[in-house]
Chains A and B, each alone.
Chain A
Amino acid sequence: MPEEQKLRCLNCYIRITVPPKTQKLTCPKCGVEYVIAWRGSQAKIAGPAKK
């Protein structure tokens, strides 16, 4: 089970908590939405979520 991680928002730079197995993530500060990819237990930003 992937552990909880943090990623930095590429728009406003705050660190966002990424719950395990998350596929989409919204920045609570600026509202930008991301698609998340998983490399084993490590989360990374794959791209912007489609509007």
Chain B
Amino acid sequence: MPLTRKIVFVDLSSGKIRKERIPEKLRRLYLGGRGLDIYLLHNYIKPGCDPLSPDNVVTVSGGLLCGSVVPAAGRCHSGAKSPLTNGVGSTNMGGFFSPELTFAGFHHIVFTGKSDKPVYLWVHNGEIEIRDARHLWGKDCFETQRLIREELGDEEIQVMCVGPAAENLVRFANVRTGLKNTGGRSGVGCVWGSKNLKAIAARGTMGVSNRYPQEALEYAQKWQKQVVNTKVAEALGYDGTMFIWNVTNTVGLLRYRNFAFNQLEDWESLAVEKFHEKYHVGVVGCFGCPVHCRHQWRIKEGPLAGLYGEGPEYNTQMCMGGILGITDWETVLHGSHLVDKYGFDMAEFSNIAAWAFELFEKGIINESETGGLKLEWANAGKLLPKLLEMVAYRKGFGDLLAEGPYRALKRLGKPEAEYYLLHIKGLGNMLSDERATPALALGIATSTRGCDHLRSRPAIDLYHLPEKILEEVFDGGPMDSNFTSYVGKAREIWVMERIYALVDSIGTCKFHSIFFSPHMPKFEEYAKMIRYITGMEFTPQELREVGERIYTLERMFNHREASYSRKDDYVPERYFAEAVPGGFPIVKGVRMDREKFDQMLDEYYAFHGWDKDGTPTDETLKKLGLDKEPSHIV
């Protein structure tokens, strides 16, 4: 049963290992995965510590339902105090690692301290061993996984690891597993590197039983049908997440050349149809997922012939493509391969690199600052592989970029450069231009891990659904079908935050939630599945409260560690100052309205029970049982 999976504390300084049962009280409050991880971070991190010091903590976890019969119950979470934002570091990935960790007997791992030499953790059927990783240090993310399987003599071993970027303390280094599964955002991989933690290998045969097996299996089949019968599952299964690009580029909701344009004129060059024609070789899925949204690709001819990988995603099209002004598929795929090899976040890289290109264009920096690199947009494709290597190994100008937004800006020492850097709380923005979409703008502004869409993105806000359906999906109203309206958007973000917190804590995929379709599982379905598999009873309202608790604790962590408050819950100044230059009539000429944004923020805080500065009130903390945190229950 999932409730028998344990938590293990690994002190990397002393080498001591302690295994514990996870108290049911904690399960009821936080479930598992991201939820329990923020509890552990809040309780175990030394307040105010440097994120790259031994006082930081790394967590790795599968969700409460990980490895069970629930479709797509294979997501994995890793957390730490972020070296980019100083707040919540939290990253989530698919694949097969966390189910294997579950089969090996564990749901959570907590790393404290710092090893005096590179190590990796070997977890197998209830046993834990810290092993020497000096021979792996310096190896890329692909080689590391292969070498560990060879060393341990089992091709079925799942490995989560970091690459050279983490070893070199690139602030946006990530954690990875498989060919493509990436825990990209917030620089958690960098914290692994600071602890000399290279990898975790897991292998297990301790199955996960269900409290009510018949009901669990029947409901899982019903859930699967509910998911695959949606139009979005069909689109994902064919185009992967790239189906989104056709819509957002057509309307004009994307970033090109940092923030110069919002629509690609020569869009056919980066269209998914072109990818299918020349590079696509198959589709695969994560653990237990019937949607299989991940492509496999191979470059068949030319100087990059033989290069292969998984993906690309919508994120890849833009981060290795449009944001840098690159419109050639082979350059995009090559870039994607390299970030996966070196192990750092392509979203963070593309944001800070695009910033540098715009500064060069505007004459704010020149070749004396870039070490001779001509950062002209027309050169971006040619420079991309070199820039990626320079960042991974902190060479030359890459060393500045590797610092991330806050520190790169400080090191550059040019106040006029700040305006062009799109970040919120020190995390760079991704591919979207949210000026015409207030809901999406509020989501990235208030996200607990900085400028990020996966804490709350209500993609269905773009579908122009009837208001009656929106009221049903978002537990009330008033709502507005128009995505450029500010009405009802605070409610959307509040509801989505709680759903995503829940999904990240039970360990299923957001694509099986109302992210993309109003017909996907919600609180009622999650409550049933939790009961059938674990026996724990929750009403849908209690699960809403669990989501609220997780999100509020993350907010508290950010207050404590980074002093974030209302002033940090805004989109970049450019959103208010500059109008959308192109695209469809519905978006062209739009800019964010400051007064309406403030009203939206006030509504959002009120929904959460926070004061006007965005601080959870005493009453809210008491209601959620957070008034005694940190509580050290485990």
| CB proximity of B440 to chain A, nearest CB, Å | 15
Docked-complex contact A11 and B268, CB < 8 angstroms: no
Docked-complex contact B584 and A47, CB < 8 angstroms: no
In the complex, which residues of chain A have a beta carbon less than 8 angstroms from the beta carbon of B243? 44
In the complex, which residues of chain A have a beta carbon less than 8 angstroms from the beta carbon of B265? 50
Contact of B246 among A11, A13, A30, A46 (CB under 8 A): A46
**Nearest-CB residue, chain B, relative to A14:** B464
**Nearest-CB residue, chain A, relative to B583:** A48
In the complex, which residues of chain A have a beta carbon less than 8 angstroms from the beta carbon of B584? 10-11, 32, 48
Question: Restricting to A6-51, which residues have a CB under 8 Å from any CB of B?
Answer: 8, 10-13, 30, 32, 34, 37, 39, 44-48, 50
Max chain A Cβ within 10 angstroms of own Cβ: one of B246, B247, B268, B271: B246
A11-B436 Cα distance, complex, nearest whole Å: 12
Q: Is B273 an interface residue (CB 8 A)?
A: yes
In the complex, which residues of chain A have a beta carbon less than 8 angstroms from the beta carbon of B464? 8, 13
**Nearest-CB residue, chain B, relative to A44:** B246
In the complex, which residues of chain A have a beta carbon less than 8 angstroms from the beta carbon of B273? 37, 46
In the complex, which residues of chain B have a beta carbon less than 8 angstroms from the beta carbon of A44? 243, 246
Known: A44-B246, A46-B246, A48-B263. A11 touches B271 (CB 8 A): no
Contact of A10 among B251, B268, B271 (CB under 8 A): B251
Q: Is B147 an interface residue (CB 8 A)?
A: no
A37-B250 Cα distance, complex, nearest whole Å: 13
**Nearest-CB residue, chain B, relative to A50:** B265
A37-B273 Cα distance, complex, nearest whole Å: 8
Docked-complex contact A47 and B238, CB < 8 angstroms: no
Docked-complex contact A32 and B585, CB < 8 angstroms: yes
In the complex, which residues of chain B have a beta carbon less than 8 angstroms from the beta carbon of A39? 238
A8-B251 Cα distance, complex, nearest whole Å: 12
Q: Is B419 an interface residue (CB 8 A)?
A: no
Docked-complex contact B267 and A48, CB < 8 angstroms: yes
Docked-complex contact B585 and A45, CB < 8 angstroms: no
**Nearest-CB residue, chain B, relative to A49:** B250
Contact of A47 among B246, B585, B586 (CB under 8 A): B246
Interface 1/0 per residue, B258-272 and A, CB below 8 Å: 000001010110010
Contact residues of B: prevailing secondary structure: helix
In the complex, which residues of chain A have a beta carbon less than 8 angstroms from the beta carbon of B585? 11, 30, 32
Docked-complex contact B263 and A45, CB < 8 angstroms: no
A34-B584 Cα distance, complex, nearest whole Å: 11
Docked-complex contact B249 and A47, CB < 8 angstroms: yes
**Nearest-CB residue, chain B, relative to A12:** B586
In the complex, which residues of chain A have a beta carbon less than 8 angstroms from the beta carbon of B246? 37, 44-47
| CB proximity of B534 to chain A, nearest CB, Å | 40
Contact of B271 among A34, A47, A50 (CB under 8 A): A47
Docked-complex contact A10 and B238, CB < 8 angstroms: no
A11-B586 Cα distance, complex, nearest whole Å: 6
A46-B267 Cα distance, complex, nearest whole Å: 9
Max chain B Cβ within 10 angstroms of own Cβ: one of A12, A30, A46, A48: A48
A30-B304 Cα distance, complex, nearest whole Å: 44
A11-B271 Cα distance, complex, nearest whole Å: 20
| CB proximity of A40 to chain B, nearest CB, Å | 10
Interface 1/0 per residue, B565-592 and A, CB below 8 Å: 0000000000000000000111000000
In the complex, which residues of chain B have a beta carbon less than 8 angstroms from the beta carbon of A46? 246, 268, 271, 273
In the complex, which residues of chain A have a beta carbon less than 8 angstroms from the beta carbon of B250? 10, 34, 45, 47-48
A44-B584 Cα distance, complex, nearest whole Å: 18
A34-B168 Cα distance, complex, nearest whole Å: 47
Contact of A11 among B238, B251, B263, B481 (CB under 8 A): B251
| CB proximity of A42 to chain B, nearest CB, Å | 9
A32-B252 Cα distance, complex, nearest whole Å: 13
| CB proximity of B29 to chain A, nearest CB, Å | 42
A30-B588 Cα distance, complex, nearest whole Å: 14
In the complex, which residues of chain B have a beta carbon less than 8 angstroms from the beta carbon of A50? 265
In the complex, which residues of chain B have a beta carbon less than 8 angstroms from the beta carbon of A45? 246-247, 250
| CB proximity of A31 to chain B, nearest CB, Å | 9
In the complex, which residues of chain A have a beta carbon less than 8 angstroms from the beta carbon of B263? 48
A45-B129 Cα distance, complex, nearest whole Å: 53
In the complex, which residues of chain A have a beta carbon less than 8 angstroms from the beta carbon of B271? 37, 46-47
A37-B268 Cα distance, complex, nearest whole Å: 11
In the complex, which residues of chain A have a beta carbon less than 8 angstroms from the beta carbon of B481? 13
A11-B584 Cα distance, complex, nearest whole Å: 6
| CB proximity of B606 to chain A, nearest CB, Å | 30
Known: A11-B586, A32-B585. A47 touches B267 (CB 8 A): yes
| CB proximity of B36 to chain A, nearest CB, Å | 41
A20-B268 Cα distance, complex, nearest whole Å: 22
In the complex, which residues of chain B have a beta carbon less than 8 angstroms from the beta carbon of A32? 584-585
In the complex, which residues of chain A have a beta carbon less than 8 angstroms from the beta carbon of B268? 46-47
A34-B238 Cα distance, complex, nearest whole Å: 21
A39-B271 Cα distance, complex, nearest whole Å: 14
| CB proximity of B233 to chain A, nearest CB, Å | 14
A11-B250 Cα distance, complex, nearest whole Å: 10
A13-B273 Cα distance, complex, nearest whole Å: 24
In the complex, which residues of chain B have a beta carbon less than 8 angstroms from the beta carbon of A37? 246, 271, 273
**Nearest-CB residue, chain B, relative to A31:** B585
| CB proximity of B225 to chain A, nearest CB, Å | 20
| CB proximity of B264 to chain A, nearest CB, Å | 9
Give the top 5 A-B pairs by smallest Cβ distance, nearest first: A11-B584, A13-B464, A47-B267, A10-B251, A11-B586
Contact surface of A with B, Cβ cutoff 8 Å? 8, 10-13, 30, 32, 34, 37, 39, 44-48, 50
A-B residue pairs in contact (CB < 8 Å), sample of 10: A8-B464, A10-B250, A10-B251, A11-B586, A30-B585, A44-B243, A47-B246, A47-B250, A48-B263, A48-B267
Q: A34-B250, A46-B271, A47-B271 are in contact. List 4 more A-B contacts (CB 8 A).
A: A13-B481, A44-B246, A48-B249, A50-B265
